[in-house]
Structure 1
């Protein structure tokens, strides 16, 4: 089996999961995303490949290994993931900054946004987001890129990307976890520190760097 679409379907069936069950395990509301990926209508970005790999109990490499690419135009998102495994960092979407320091992490439309950050990361799950908006100015400026390294540990004083169970996403400074309560300080001094209960956190990923737009490189097409 050569294509990513076929591998997703094979691993799903091996786990005796329906498309709906896999979608739920990945935190998606509808099975249509899984269906589109399995039919090859859409290509998953790196973040979605990671979610499916975790839900299916396989590694990122298991889903990517042996993936067949076009002889004329390489699959952008698969190329991203392979670059991540090799050290360079794929840009998988953008962060539309909003009020109070929150932002929405959005995928690029299929066939758009292909490129990577010209920086080494030894985290195979690392990825980049392009920042749009000014709510985190001056720490993060419009048009800059955020390097996210999910596999790395974070400590007090580190900047992290936090996603809550109610869907809020933000970049904050991790201060402490005490008595089941996280404290995060804002990267924008105009926003007060916030406290979030441990059971309200979906994930916390280390922000390994904030990069200028000059670090972005377009994927080279064959």
Structure 2
């Protein structure tokens, strides 16, 4: 377990409830600055960990269990049983990943538009612009397989190691893992070692959104 994984899980929990890190801390009855980036590194430059008491208060405030939080720490929670096309909950736009590179599905900011989307019913997700993609191909096996549905949040913070959906200026849309992002380049990896990794200059990327859920 890494320091970054714990903070990423807290950021993901905040995003799923439509909150900033400060908003999540406030909701849990903590100092609003408790989860700020400046509080994650000590004055000596060493990484700081959130206290177990802080995490417990966050879970209590959001109605989540320690198992949910552990899933977020590991990188990706699965949808609860009952999630899917026939489930009850908020309706989220859905298209196939293979379709996503076509015209008319996203606006310039990467938000779903148009009337050609299907829908999927999911438990409530804080991001009003969240959307779902049905995975096609083998490049993300064994984590995501052909036919799996992933839910993508444009509002969720993206960090190294996250699984993301990226659209390039050429119109390609791909699901990958963010391996590295610098001021000039983005490096993306296919989870299946038999498929290539990619490196792009930042101007070559139109948008990049984080995958927050998966139905498998």
TM value normalised by structure 2: 0.48
Query: Which has the higher relative contact order, 1 or 2, with Cα contacts under 8 A spaced 6 or more apart?
Result: 2
TM value normalised by structure 1: 0.47
